[in-house]
Structure formats: C-alpha cells, structure tokens
Amino acid sequence: MVISPTVRGRFAPTPSGYLHVGNALTALLAWLQVRQQNGTFILRIEDLDDKRLHPKYIAALFEDLHWLGIDWDEGPESGGPFSPYHQKDRTHLYHAAFEELKNRGLLYPCFCSRKQLRAFAVAPHGVTSEGPAYSGKCRYLSEEERLRKATDKTPSWRFILPDTPMAFDDLVYGKQTFAAGAGGDFVVCRADEVFGYQLAVVIDDAAMGVTHVLRGNDLLDSTPRQLCLYQALGLTPPSFAHVPLIYASNGERLAKRNGQMPLRSMRKEGLRPQHLIGYLAWLTGLLVKPEPIELLELIKEFDVRKIVRHRIVLPVNWSETLMKSG
C-alpha cells in the first residue's frame, strides 16, 4: 500500500478498562477512513492520569486491535517520527503550550474546590458530561484576591473562551454552531499539575500532523474548545468526523469502567472477528445486512456519508446471536 503523505488519522484510547464493542466501532471507522485514503494510521495512548489506568489494559488493547485486524503505522509498538506515543511521556509539550497561553494572558487561576472541579477529568468526555457550565467565578478576581487565595490553595488553570460563536463542518453531522462561551471557561491544567484532555489532545494531534480525527459523538461539543486552542496557538486543526455511540438494549451507554461487553471476553469465547466487523458495519450503515466480512474488504465500502446519525441501540441478546453465528 502506498502511504499518502497528506492523510494522517489516529485512534487514541484511554486504557482505563478493557475495550468494548463501542470502542471497537470507533477504532474500525477511524482505521477505515485512513486506509481508504492510503494514509498513515497512528495509535496513541492517552494515559495522562495514571492513577486511573493499568498496564494490563494496554496489553489487552493491543491484543484486541490485532484480533480485529487493525494495524498502525506509528504507535507504542512500532515507534515513528513523532514518538513517544504515550501521553504521559509528552508532558513537556503540554507544559510549553501552557506557558505560552499563560504568558499571553489567555489563562487564569481557578481556586474552586475539588468537589466543584470533580467533573473536569483528563480522560476524554464531552462538555455535556461536565454538568452546568462554569460560571466564571474566578475569572474576574483581582490580583490581590488571587494572591490571597493562592496562600491557601494551589489553583487549577482555565482557558478564557473568546466572546464569539464557534462553527465548524462535521463530516458526519454537518454544520455545527455553538454559542460564544458554550460550556464555560475550561481547565487546561489541574491543581495537581496534570494537564487536561483538551490541551493535550490538541498539542498531540498538531505535533503528529493529524489531518483527520474520527471519534465518538460524545466529543462533538468538545470540538469548539479545541478549535479555540488551535486558533490561540496558531495551529492548523484537522477535519472532524463524529460517529454515533453504541448503547445497550436498556438504553445505557457502554462504558469501559462498567466492564460491559469487553472484546477480550467475546474473542476468548470463540467469536470470529469477521462476524463482529460485519455486524458493526451494518449497524453504522456501511453494509446493507449483517454478514461476515474481512476488514480489508470493508475498505472499499467505507464512505463517511453512509454513517448513520442516530443512536445505535443493541438488540437484546445480540451477543449470544452473534456468538452462535461466529
């Protein structure tokens, strides 16, 4: 395969649990988007907050991706020109960007309590998962007030959102428009000096030359924040495609932390990857019926315009049916 010098995409999981079918779907679609354009596919591990992570999940991640047939041109196992490919080893880059933003007056210290900031994690989550928008309580503190508060508490640091609306074209959901300040000023560095997801993902994607980002639609409302950071740092943003999430039959969103339908269990029970790939391709609109297919054969069927926009809900006993067929 001739690798395109212009198309670069990535899959960037957080190893906080075993991959489930929802993660597999995102990985498959991101891989297909890049491979169809003969581009470079990157695997990056988003492991900034190592208190939530475990090495066994990273090992299982590699196994699950290999089982599906997903390979990567750059990443933890294969290296590449933009290594390292673990975020925990790239903090010097985030620190440099943080200092640039701070020196330009685009950040301010926030002294809100840990309880108030609990929702602002470094793992990727959409803005709606954070709860009410940040009020800007600390944005307008005087320098005297900041110095006084700093004697009692180490602050986190927030990025000042511009007072203008933000719009972008999503390859799946079309034109997206967000009001000025949507979600409120956001944390780019926690009080414990762990950098936030929004800053880290922008710096990594820009540094690695990523041109195409395909990810779950729970991050759709995070995109304006990231575009603001791209603009503030003078970086070129990639194109974005957000794809539907998968929900269990009871309407509950699949989550690694709940151990729901991990791939490792399904493959250990004998499921063939072709059956799962075909089923997921059918659910997302790439195939007209759920039939087994090799991943390489699916490349020619991929079209981002085919991807459904509605919530994907798994039928009751879907995994048992799939296991019997596989």
Largest CA distance in the chain: 68
Q: How far apart are CA 37 and CA 303, in angstroms?
A: 11
Q: Is 189 annotated as a binding residue?
A: no
Is 138 part of any known ligand binding site? yes
Q: Is 148 annotated as a binding residue?
A: no
- 114 in a known ligand binding site: no
User: Is 256 annotated among the ligand-binding residues?
Assistant: yes
197 is in an annotated binding site: yes
3-state SS, the chain, equals: CCCCCCCEEEECCCCCCCCEHHHHHHHHHHHHHHHHCCCEEEECECCCCHHHCCHHHHHHHHHHHHHHCCCCCEECCCECCCCCCEHHHCHHHHHHHHHHHHHCCCEEEECCCHHHHCCCCCCCCCHHHHCCCCCCCCCCCCHHHHHHHHCCCCCEEEECCCCCCEEEEECCCEEEEECCCCCCCEEEECCCCCECHHHHHHHHHHHCCCCEEEEEHHHHHHHHHHHHHHHHCCCCCCEEEEECCEECCCCCECCHHHCCCEHHHHHHCCCCHHHHHHHHHHHCCCCCCCCCCCHHHHHHHCCHHHCCCCCEECCCCHHHHHHHHC
User: Does the annotation list 14 as a binding residue?
Assistant: yes
Is 215 marked as a binding-site residue? yes
Q: Is 41 marked as a binding-site residue?
A: no
* Closest of 162, 146, 144, 165 to residue 108, by C-alpha: 146
Catalytic (active-site) positions:
256
What span, in angstroms and rounded, lies between the C-alpha atoms of 14 and 31?
Answer: 17
- Whether residue 284 is annotated as binding a ligand: the answer is no
Q: Is 268 annotated as a binding residue?
A: no
| Sign of torsion over alpha carbons 171, 35, 280, 25 | negative
Give binding residues for L-glutamate as ranges.
10-14, 46, 197, 215
Give binding residues for ATP as ranges.
256
Give binding residues as ranges.
10-14, 46, 110, 112, 134, 138, 197, 215, 256
